[in-house]
Amino acid sequence: MNFIFRRKRITGILTVLPANERSFLEEMKNFNFPEARSLKLKEVMGYDKRRLVKPGVCVSDLAVFGLQHLFDRGVLNRDEIDALLLVTQSPDHFIPPTSNIIQGRLGLKPDMLCLDINQACAGFVVGLIEAFLLLEQESVRKVVLINGDVLSRKTSPKDRNIYPLMGDAASLTVVERDAEDSVIHANLKMDGSRHEALMIPAGGFRLPSSPETAVLEDAGDNNLRAKDHLRMDGSAIFNFVQVEVPPLIESLLASAGASMDSVDYFLCHQPNRFMLQKLADKMKVPYAKMPSNVVEHFGNGGGATLPIAITFNLANRLRNGHCQVCVAGFGGGLAWASMLMRLGGLSCCEMIEFP
Amino acid sequence: MKALPEILKEIRPEFDFTVSSDFIADGMLDSFDLMTLVATLDKTYGISIQGTDIVPENFKNLQTIGALLRQCGVQA
Amino acid sequence: MAPVTTVAQVFDALQGAKAGASAFCTNFFPAHAKVQGWIDHGELLGELRDLSAFFLRKDRDFWHLYFCAANVAALQREVSAIPSLRTERVAVDLVGSEAVLGELLKVVESAGFQRYARLLRLARPNQSGQPQPSADGTEVLCADKTDCQAITDLLECAFDRYADQLPMLYEIEAAIEAHQILAVKCDRALAALLFFESQGFTSTIRYWAVAERFRSHRFGSALMRHYLAAQSAVRRFVLWVTADNENAVLKYRHYGYAPDGLVDHVLVNEMIRA
């Protein structure tokens, strides 16, 4: 599915990382694997440190902290937010929407749209598509897109496949109309038939949480996880990314009449270093143009990792200049989406820590 | 240059890879072992195995891995 | 030594020396992007030896030596057996606290190196109440591509090539593109610069220099104030300064920097000393 947006732009990106940091080397002792095997994996995947929220901290806490920072810095005025989109898979509650909770905590105006979007690692691009669609309306001049998750609380410490890579984070992206005659191309695909590749089986209405769903089970691969925990079919997800993402980006560039060389950076969701380097090899993109360094510093924080890759690597460059970027998100659903745009001249492009 | 069984043994020292015909079904290699194996094969043979070739079928046994290496230009 | 062709070779060598090591020692803390740049420009050689690995990085007309070893005994044994350390011009940095560097210094000295310089690392936590940009009208700009040669000239004049690891032209070009070189110009010449690297929560000043004929114009101060005021999200500022450059140390202290305990001993071999 293709999209074209005219006269829209990102004017600010803020990422919020919990101050609490854990290291793979400390946590290795919990896994049912020999140390040597875990160390090899650490090197291949790029695991090192990750950021986790303290017990009790929720997505709305990270979001409110980030928005308050933007208000205090004069980047944003609370009354000018016409839409608040929150992309999360770890809401504060099932009901009410967490975006409404954020609205209430900050005393934002009633004349606005608050919308929760349940999307995983394609969520930054999906959220941007939604934001740009909203800006077509006269009444919507400024949208704040928040990508946030605290999924570390839903992973089993005895699951080496997923525990060491999960991180918690939030990002806030300010999106508005562009006075210049700019064009943004985007595309996306979804495949619900493969939804089981990344899921939390229990806790919803299909299988409500119970004492039984909290019991750790050996899935047959020496990892222990409960039905209440996030689980991932590593092979399936890896293969899906390698097969689906390069043609998606190729198709995007073709629609835009753009060459690979014209793109300064390919900013992708950050699952792990190995996957991104294989993607770069397949697309014949030099590693310097496709940063893969977020997981080793912060862990995989879901939809927020893509904006973290931006604020971690390109903050200075995007505050002072512009780049032609292709952003690509891919993951649970399954969903995969990409977008080509000129990014820069940002009034804010930074990382802050949530204490 | 290390032989393939030796490389496999370094990743999972507890198994004998010369006696199995399906490393995946026999639980000798999981998806993360596959990535470690590919990274090691890339480095050992100076190749870059395509991401789309990192599927269980290509790593079932010594023969299938050998075929994949030959496909990548390795004189195995 | 042979050319290094992939970043993985470097990290595998480090991992190999570390695995099961009783007292791993290294002076190599590589960042992927930097190593890739060295490889892309054919600047990195490497050699695996018993329980150790050695790398030489080309810098103008000499080399920087990097090593990693399972223990000091392995380092001592293997470093003496590398011919290029006697036939090429080589400098080596030993980074750590003074307390732990003693043994390493002896080993490197016994391999034919002599102490050349000592640098201190200074750190400054980001405080509320950042210095404000100067009000005296000094215009601070981001350097552009036309400034490359002037930047190279100023750096080579103001810094020591062996101790301060001056950037290659491609690094300067990349830093300009990333808006990480601030400049003050006067009479259409580059009067002063501040070259930094920021990533995430940490920012490092690599070079801060004022051309001699433009000193006492307070250009250096304008650059520093601008830099500190602009890095509002940074939690930690760091830099390295030559220990006996008291003037520079005082200036940095004025802006809240203080030694954090890390030192860098730079040693050079006979070929450089000759």
The widest CA-to-CA distance across chain A, in whole angstroms, is 60
* Lookup result for tokens 């080496």: A160
Q: How far apart, in whole angstroms, are the C-alpha atoms of residue C191 and residue C150?
A: 9
- Cβ atoms B11, B33 nearer than 8 A: yes
Q: Which residues of B touch C12 (CB under 8 A)?
A: 43
Residue of A nearest to B52 (CA): A242
Neighbours of A199 (CB within 10 A): 17
Question: Does C20 score more than 90 pLDDT?
Answer: no
Q: Is the CB of A241 inside 8 Å of chain B's CB atoms?
A: yes
C224-264 per-position pLDDT tens digit: 999 998 887 788 899 999 999 999 999 999 999 999 999 99
Q: Is the CB of A259 inside 8 Å of chain B's CB atoms?
A: no
Whole-number pLDDT of residue B70: 93
Q: Which residues of C touch B47 (CB under 8 A)?
A: none
Domains parsed from chain B with CATH numbers: 4-71 (1.10.1200)
Which of helix, strand or coil describes residue A68? Answer: helix
Nearest CA to CA, how far is C199 from chain A (Å)?
5
pLDDT along chain A (355 residues), means of 10: 98 97 88 81 88 96 97 94 98 97 97 97 98 97 98 91 92 96 97 95 96 90 90 90 97 97 96 93 92 93 96 93 96 96 96 94
Out of 3.40.630.30, 3.40.50.1100, 3.20.20.70, 3.40.50.11260, which CATH number does the structure's domain C127-234 have? 3.40.630.30
Strand locations in chain A, DSSP E? 2-6, 8-18, 21-23, 49-51, 83-87, 113-117, 142-149, 169-177, 183-190, 198-199, 217-218, 224-225, 231-232, 265-268, 322-331, 335-344, 348-354
CB pair distance less than 8 Å for C198 and A287:
no
Domain ranges of chain C: 2-88, 127-234
pTM here? Answer: 0.87
Reference A239, options B38, C8, B73; nearest CA is B38
Token readout for B4 is 């393939």
Q: How far apart, in whole angstroms, are the C-alpha atoms of residue C183 and residue C226?
A: 10
Q: How far apart, in whole angstroms, are the C-alpha atoms of residue A190 and residue A233?
A: 17
Tell me, what's the ipTM? 0.89
Domains parsed from chain A with CATH numbers: 1-355 (3.40.47.10)
Residue of C nearest to A297 (CA): C200
- Residue of B9, B12, B26, B32 best to disrupt the A interface, most CBs of A under 10 A: B32
A104-120 per-position pLDDT tens digit: 999 999 999 999 999 99
Q: How far apart, in whole angstroms, are the C-alpha atoms of residue A213 and residue A200?
A: 11
Nearest CA to CA, how far is C145 from chain A (Å)?
14
Whole-number pLDDT of residue A219: 77
Nearest CA to CA, how far is B20 from chain C (Å)?
29
DSSP one-letter code for A220: S
C111-131 per-position pLDDT tens digit: 999 999 999 999 998 764 566
Inter-residue long-range contacts of A221-226, CB under 8 Å, 24+ positions, other chains counted: A221/A161, A221/B27, A221/B30, A222/A32, A222/A33, A222/B30, A223/A31, A223/A32, A223/A156, A223/A158, A223/A159, A223/A160, A223/A161, A224/A32, A224/A156, A224/A158, A224/A159, A225/A155, A225/A156, A225/A158, A225/A159, A225/A162, A226/A156, A226/A202
A291-326 per-position pLDDT tens digit: 999 999 999 999 999 999 999 999 989 998 999 999
